[in-house]
Structure 1
Amino acid sequence: MNRYIAQQVKKIAPDSWFCDLSSVYYPNVHEPFGNNKLAKVIEELKKDVKQTDYISFHPYPLQNINNGMPETLIRDGKIDDLDIPLMYTELGYPLEKSWQGEWNVAQSADKLVRLLLISDAIGIDAMIPYTLRTGQDYSLANSRNKQLELNYIGQAVFDLLDELGDHTFVRQIDTGSHVDFSDDLYVLEYRKGAQLKIAYWTPKETIRQQITWQDYRPELVFETKVKFLNYSDLAKK
């Protein structure tokens, strides 16, 4: 069915991009590659690779693995030697108990924003934010009188777009603190023309540390919630 739909889409709109329907979700990457679902999907897609532009991937870090830290995707979210790029067609953290886990609103928002930044940094071409919905738990908005209003999680995503929507990821800045992905201090640099900005956070406890950024050494307070700093603001201090 996936191959048939791809053929019909390309027939009707030859210049369109097709994302396959065989969604693979995050826990599969822990299994031996030769046995997991992703490997089987890739083998099928290779039979007619020109029909598929993206592989649909669901990066749902499990709560029972490092408390669902999105930083785990630095290790597991990018599939090597893959000719077809990944598209994240679902990602997020549910507020009600599910197979993935359960988080409160603030935790869900913080982790989702970090997941989006990490995914961009490791080269994921396209992403669709979607907080797993259980019961009446809406993903990014609440329904009020049949009108949708952004909830706390949705607002966090839109705040991220306001900060970085017109910026391009440049690099991850070395903070000199490297235990593993779960203990690192993260500083990602972005550019818009001549303007520079960083997004920074830590997956665990709040910590204050000085970093080196270009010709400045600002002291930053790292928290699980992503913060932003404009390079131009350092010159004003």
Structure 2
Amino acid sequence: MNWEEFLDPYIQAVGELKIKLRGIRKQYRKQNKHSPIEFVTGRVKSVESILEKMELRGIAMEDMEKEVPDIAGVRVMVQFVDDVHEVIELIRQRKDMTVVQERDYINYKKPSGYRSYHVIVEYPVETISGRKVILAEIQIRTLAMNFWATIEHSLNYKYRGEFPQEIKERLELTARIANQLDEEMGKIRDDIQEAQLLFDPVYPTLHDGVGNSDDTDEVYR
């Protein structure tokens, strides 16, 4: 199998989705409005990670495109939990992609404490061979959720999913703290947004969000 040729449409899709989502942020900020989108990053799953997931779940090669929906992955970070729902609605309303699945790990967190909202979309990519519709996963989460998930992922990789009891307990504790942080920040959301505008009144014009260095892509599986 020619993996480079296979992954090219996914690479293109991630690039286009990042530009479009950052463009939404730019539009909000140009109107001096709070943008529900804070940062956008993306990645294409490595061949090693794809094969590992397929082996773990017993997925045949011919079913890979439909059974591994996160080969193309985009992550949207937001400031507040309410912003998550606003971003989801923006995605649902778009005409250039179709939502085919949603997984709410915010209201229904995983046993580990992981919280995020996952949206699987069908996204058309135009290539020299014609249009190809691929699946892409968009993860939407607060900065607190992302911090916890990043740490948990690193530890999970280190311990291969078999956490020592002390680490497991501390992860559960910090997950609750991250959740509490989101709740408390939500209660003073209006004050925070007002303070941000007062602190940096030119922020909307300086940080336009397209090709911006604050959106450094993450390495995530």
With the length of structure 1 as denominator, give the TM-score of the two structures. Answer: 0.23
With the length of structure 2 as denominator, give the TM-score of the two structures. Answer: 0.25
Give 1 or 2: higher helix fraction: 2
Larger radius of gyration: 1
